[in-house]
Structure 1
Amino acid sequence: MTTPTLGNAVDDFNLPATSGISFRLSDFKDKANVVLYFYPKDSTPGCTTEGQDFRDAYTQFQASDTVIFGISRDSLKSHENFKAKQAFPFELLADTEEVVCQLFAVIKLKNMYGKQVLGIERSTFLIDKQGILRHEWRKVSVKGHVEAVLTAAQALT
């Protein structure tokens, strides 16, 4: 698998998701645009705010024929708790082996409490109905981010 680049097809992948489903990117081909947002950790302040912002704009994304999926390295159990507590209407994908995180090159060296650790760099990718990567946002700042993603999704319809 190769790291997706703008204007090119994204390699198909499969991950376990909340609600007992299995996510496969190819299942959305010719059906819906896909937002994949990578976040560091369930139930942390920035990740909660980002998820809430996607939740609050969910119907607008639906109106733009766009589905949303959050991805982190947390377990399905952790995802289920996070999703339930925040009433997310979208599924969370568990990439515990970092396969998709590596595919999208979102694992970065970060400083936490004076130590360097590998973690997810908050990033979002918008894939169109043909499976082509149309937009990517890296080093995301949560404030105003969902509005930018929604505007890009609306432009695809």
Structure 2
Amino acid sequence: MALAIGDKVPDMALLATGDRTVHLSDYLGRHLVLYFYPKASTPGCTQEGQDFRDAAADFATKGAVIVGASRDGLRAQENFKAKQSFPFDLIADTDESLCRLFDVIKMKKMYGKEHLGVERSTFLIDAAGVLRQEWRGVKVKGHVAEVLAALDQLAHIE
């Protein structure tokens, strides 16, 4: 069953860049911007990551940490992070456990063929670990600004 707005996000162990295991609970006390992308080092995913990278200081000022995730293996994630100088962790969700928790595995079409893939999506989780907002089927252009604006709104509610 997928998470809904207002649900507490369950804790889980995840393989992150730096060959570390992180837990979702590690981010309690800060807002978590968790974004899912289809494939490391592809044009749209690179642009999205660069946009988050370029706004990382703005997110930090608002008490938020950014984490990216895809089904890519750890080596691909490490290379992607290093090449793009991302100041945030990337999750190697090779078993799709995180993707399935957030229900981002969808049927997609490429070159007329259907396949299961990651739908570009972003989730805003508050400092208490509660899912506050989601964006599905994300278009990269302007997306980071939308997430920053949502963080401002969340700050006014708390």
Alignment TM-score, normalising by the size of structure 2: 0.95
Out of 19, 36, 39, the residue aligned to residue 38 of structure 1 is 36
Question: Distance between the aligned counterparts of 2:117 and 2:125, measured in 1?
Answer: 23
**Contact 1:4/1:11 (CA < 8 Å) preserved in 2?**
no
Question: Distance between the aligned counterparts of 1:16 and 1:150, measured in 2?
Answer: 26
> What percentage of residue pairs aligned between the two structures are identical?
58
1:154, CA displacement in angstroms? 2.5
- Render the CA deviation track for 1:38-82: whole Å, top value 9, x for unaligned: 000000000000000000000000000000000000011000000
Question: Distance between the aligned counterparts of 2:65 and 2:152, measured in 1?
Answer: 12
**Contact 1:127/1:135 (CA < 8 Å) preserved in 2?**
yes
**Contact 1:69/1:93 (CA < 8 Å) preserved in 2?**
yes
2:118 pairs with 1:145: no
Structure 1: stretches of 5+ with no match in the other structure = none
- The Cα RMSD (Å) is 0.9
Partner of 2:6: 7
Question: Distance between the aligned counterparts of 1:145 and 1:6, measured in 2?
Answer: 19
**Contact 2:99/2:118 (CA < 8 Å) preserved in 1?**
yes
Amino acid at match of 1:88: F
1:20, CA displacement in angstroms? 2.4
Amino acid at match of 2:65: V
Structure 2: stretches of 5+ with no match in the other structure = none
Amino acid at match of 2:14: L
Amino acid at match of 1:52: Q
Partner of 2:57: 59
- Paired residues, number: 155
**Which structure 1 residue ranges, 4+ long, deviate > 2 Å from structure 2?**
154-157
> Equivalent residue of 1:134, what SS?
strand
